[in-house]
């Protein structure tokens, strides 16, 4: 598994990728991004303002694998012993960031024995695969509300027909119209980050920094990975070439964003907005080309 590639996905989708590859033996979950070219919706008030109009990956996971359970903290360990034979468990747990600050994030519990819980966490700062954690420490760090813990069970006792789900994704192109709310997102970014006060806030607000670049990249890089997986043998295919252009634009966008965030230099904000418009242009063309391939 290429962990450097995995961190380019949205954090919760990394967990699904890991699960599908390891437990469901699906070599490339990228095929479940076939419907992402139908466009993105925009919600200004959401911490992640961009979200796909259609999400086949989430539909698949909820239909075949996911079961949500809320349990008492005192019952948690016994429940893990009983269920980690046919499932893995996604839960919230406290971690320390690079500045040694505590924050909560999701981890995947894979195994348990009399002394340890073994968890997996893949991120920019963590490459923890089945890392042992003493049970007592785990219970201190687990996220709970009113002594209750929410568990997202991912069950692997039923097989997934990947090609059947891929065909379901293709069928969406006959039923859904392209959504282009990415332009609204660009206008929102331009209005917000051209404001001097907001530029100052960006330097210290992690959520604003994520919205500035990372959330964009995590939503769009998977489109490139899908094209590489499905059309890599067609080197002269217009669809592949447009995918390469999108990747190049995303790489430039990442560099410009990094310069602005690291230096706090907003003279590049116009270049940042221009790159968003360039990315949007590629998204429109990719929809048309994917539609042509499918229909």
- The helix (H) or strand (E) run that includes residue 93 is strand 87-96
Q: Which candidate, 208, 222, 191, 270, places its Cα nearest to that of 14?
A: 222
Average pLDDT over residues 120-137: 92
Total-model pTM: 0.91
**pLDDT tens figures, 173-213:** 999 999 999 999 999 999 998 888 888 888 888 888 889 99
Where does the pLDDT of residue 23 fall: very low under 50, low under 70, confident under 90, or very high at 90 and above? very high
CA angle 111, 71, 24 (to 5 degrees): 40
User: What's the confidence (pLDDT) of residue 214?
Assistant: 92
In whole numbers, what is the pLDDT of the chain averaged over residues? 92
**Looking at residue 203, what is its pLDDT?**
80
Q: How far is CA 124 from the centre of its chain?
A: 13
Q: Where are the alpha helices (DSSP H) in 8-134?
A: 11-22, 56-64, 76-83
Query: Could you give the CA distance from residue 92 to residue 60 in angstroms, rounded to a whole number?
Result: 22
Res 207: pLDDT: 85
For residues 257-264, average pLDDT:
90
Residue 123 to residue 255: CA distance in whole angstroms: 19
Q: How far apart are the C-alpha atoms of 71 and 150, rounded to whole Å? A: 7
């Amino acid at each position: 598994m290429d962990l450097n590639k995995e961190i380019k996905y949205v954090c919760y989708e990394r967990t699904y990728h890991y699960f599908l590859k390891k437990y469901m033996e699906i070599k490339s979950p990228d095929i479940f991004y076939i419907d992402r070219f139908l466009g993105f919706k925009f919600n200004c008030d959401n911490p992640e303002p961009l979200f796909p109009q259609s999400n086949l990956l989430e539909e698949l996971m909820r239909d075949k694998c996911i079961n949500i359970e809320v349990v008492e903290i005192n019952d948690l360990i016994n429940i893990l012993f009983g269920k980690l034979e046919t499932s893995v468990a996604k839960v919230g747990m406290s971690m320390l960031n690079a500045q040694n600050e505590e924050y909560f994030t999701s981890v995947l519990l894979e195994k348990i024995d009399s002394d340890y819980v073994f968890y997996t966490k893949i991120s920019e700062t963590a490459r923890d695969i089945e890392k042992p954690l003493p049970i007592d420490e785990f219970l201190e760090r687990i996220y709970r509300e009113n002594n209750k813990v929410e568990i997202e069970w991912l069950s692997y006792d039923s097989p997934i027909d990947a090609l059947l789900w891929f065909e379901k994704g293709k069928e969406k192109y006959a039923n859904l119209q392209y959504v282009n709310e990415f332009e609204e997102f660009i206008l929102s970014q331009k209005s917000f980050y051209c404001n001097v006060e907001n530029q100052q806030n960006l330097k210290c607000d992690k959520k604003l920094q994520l919205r500035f670049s990372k959330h964009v990249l995590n939503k769009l890089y998977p489109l490139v990975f899908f094209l590489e997986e499905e059309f890599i043998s067609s080197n002269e295919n217009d669809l592949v070439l447009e995918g390469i252009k999108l990747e190049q634009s995303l790489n430039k966008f990442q560099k410009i964003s990094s310069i602005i965030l690291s230096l706090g230099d907003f003279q590049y904000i116009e270049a940042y907005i221009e790159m968003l418009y360039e990315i949007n242009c590629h998204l429109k063309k990719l929809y048309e080309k994917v539609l042509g391939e499918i229909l």
